[in-house]
Amino acid sequence: MKVGGLIAQRCIQSIKDIEHALLRGEAMGRLSEVTLVKNDGSEASVQLSTSPVFSGGQPVAFQHIARDVTEEKRMHDNLRFYLRQATRSQEEERKRIARELHDETIQELVVLSRQVDDLASSGKLVSEPNTSRLDELRQQINNIMQGVRRLSQDLRPAALDRLGLLAALEWLTSSVAEYSRIPIELSVSGAERRLSEEAELVLFRITQEALRNVWRHSQATRAKVTVGFDQGKTMIAISDDGKGFALSGSVDDLSRDGKLGLAGMQERARLLGGAVKVESELGKGTEVTVEIPR
């Protein structure tokens, strides 16, 4: 029977496009995923391989070979759902911890610092050696406060929720440049727009992880973050002039090489229908590019 009697109507045009491409000598070996309608009206997902049938050197028909991938697709969708829920739970936990650090731990350290100030300024009640010691304690408390504040911001920057992605990226690049001593340039192209909360969070986390890799592993002297707002997509590229590394395959293979951070970026992007591309060469630096729809 003709394929039109087997395939769901919404998939017919995509099959026709493949057939026309085959007649033009294109799309050889191309596989497509379509929906097959069973006799009982239920649907199944199949992977379709299409090839022309020739007679006397002329194409007279098309042969379609289908492999049922319904269970594979269901397992894949379930895994994707689990990853999305796990990521959301992780971000909610980060937000809770960040709020507690800011609202409780930092405030308690502020109170402690003021108590030390009051004790140090009591004059006659504190000897000079003890005054010097109190000054040291006050400085230690201030250093701890700065560390806790930085940790709170890393967990969930307030600018991301209040002001959006670009404001959060400005804070991030400035913060990383300060403690890494690596100058980081931030540039923006296209008309700035707000994205969904999930999209902005994914783009921020990928940039954060990429800059952390620059600081820890690249031995770079400078880095750059480029944000592009195009009509149908949003792009961020993070590049450096560091030592680079040899790529042994695609981004999907990076987890096998121990580069779990890069593999995690790819999974985050895929949750939004996007992708991550990594380009690196020994001695010539690295560039990580993430693109998501809108």
Q: 193-210: per-residue pLDDT in tens? A: 889 888 998 999 999 999
pLDDT digits (tens, 9 = 90+) for 82-111: 777 887 888 788 888 888 888 889 899 999
pLDDT digits (tens, 9 = 90+) for 136-170: 888 899 899 988 988 888 888 888 888 899 999 99
How far apart, in whole angstroms, are the C-alpha atoms of residue 107 and residue 130? 25
pLDDT of residue 125: 59
Out of 3-12, 157-166, 189-198, 281-290, least confident range: 3-12
How far apart, in whole angstroms, are the C-alpha atoms of residue 2 and residue 152? 61
pTM of the model: 0.67
pLDDT of residue 251: 63
- For the CA atoms of 62, 68, 74, 79, the dihedral, rounded to the nearest 10 degrees, stands at -90
pLDDT digits (tens, 9 = 90+) for 162-176: 889 999 999 999 999
pLDDT digits (tens, 9 = 90+) for 30-42: 778 888 888 888 8
pLDDT of residue 5: 77
What is the widest separation between alpha-carbon atoms in the chain? 111
Task: Burial-class residue 121 by CB neighbours within 10 Å (0-12, 13-18, 19+).
Answer: exposed
- Give the sheet arrangement for strand 31-37, strand by strand: 31-37, 43-55, 58-68
- Decide if pLDDT at 264 tops 90: no
Report which DSSP code applies to 4.
G
User: Mean pLDDT of all residues in the chain?
Assistant: 85
- Decide if pLDDT at 132 tops 90: no
What pLDDT band is residue 3 in, cutting at 50, 70 and 90?
low
**Structure tokens given for 178:** 């300060």
Three-state DSSP class for residue 271: coil
How far apart, in whole angstroms, are the C-alpha atoms of residue 20 and residue 3? 15
Structure-token match 């592993």, residue found: 217
CATH of 3-68, one of 3.30.365.10, 3.30.450.20, 3.10.20.340, 3.40.50.880: 3.30.450.20
> Top-level CATH class of 159-293?
alpha beta
Structural domain boundaries of the chain? 3-68, 74-155, 159-293
Instruction: Return phi, psi of residue 233, to 5°.
Output: -155, 165
How far apart, in whole angstroms, are the C-alpha atoms of residue 2 and residue 267? 39
Cβ atoms 215, 182 nearer than 8 A: yes
Task: Burial-class residue 104 by CB neighbours within 10 Å (0-12, 13-18, 19+).
Answer: exposed
